Amino acid sequence: MSLTERISADVISAMKSKSEPELSVLRLVRAAFKNKEIDLGHPLNDDEAMAVIKTMVKQGNDAMKDFIADNRQDLVDKQTQETEILERYLPKPLPAEEIQKICEQAVADSGATGVQDMGKVMGVAMKLIAGRASGDVVKESIQKLLTK
C-alpha cells in the first residue's frame, strides 16, 4: 500500500471513529498531496509524498516556535498534536551514532579535505540517510568532522 493510499484509508478510519483532530490533519495532507500532484503533473510516488509530509512537519515546527515566543500554549498544544499525527507517516529517525557513522562514510567517500567541501559531503550523506534525519543534524555532524 502506497503512502497516499494509506493516508486515504486513514481518513476513512478517522471519519468512522469521529477523531476530529486526526481527520483534520489527514485532510490537509491529502490537499497538499493533490496540490503537489498538480504541480508535478503526475501522481505522487512514496518519496514525493513523504517529502510533502516532511515539509508540513517542518512548517509546523517553525510555527510552534512562533507560538512559544508569543506565549500561546493553546496553539502549541494543537500544533504538537498535529505534528505527532504527521510523524506517524515518516520513517523513524536514525540514532545520533548511526548519523555519525554515515557522515564519516560520506566524508571518506567524497574525498573531502575541509569545510569548503561541505556541499559535496552533504549530497553524499543525504542520499545515504534517505530522509531518516534532518538536514540540520547532518550538517552539524559533518561540520564537526570537517573542522577536525
The pLDDT mean for the chain works out to 90
Superfamily of domain 3-87: Uncharacterised protein YqeY/AIM41, N-terminal domain (1.10.1510.10)
Above 80 in pLDDT, residue 148? Answer: no
Share of the chain above pLDDT 70, in %: 99
Asked if 37 contacts 44 with a C-beta cutoff of 8 angstroms, the reply is yes
Could you please state the CATH topology (level 3) that the domain comprising 96-146 is classified under: Arc Repressor Mutant, subunit A (1.10.10)
Sketch the domain layout of the chain as residue ranges: 3-87, 96-146
What does pTM read for this prediction? Answer: 0.74
Residue 130, CA distances (Å) to 23, 61, 90, 125 in order: 28, 21, 11, 8
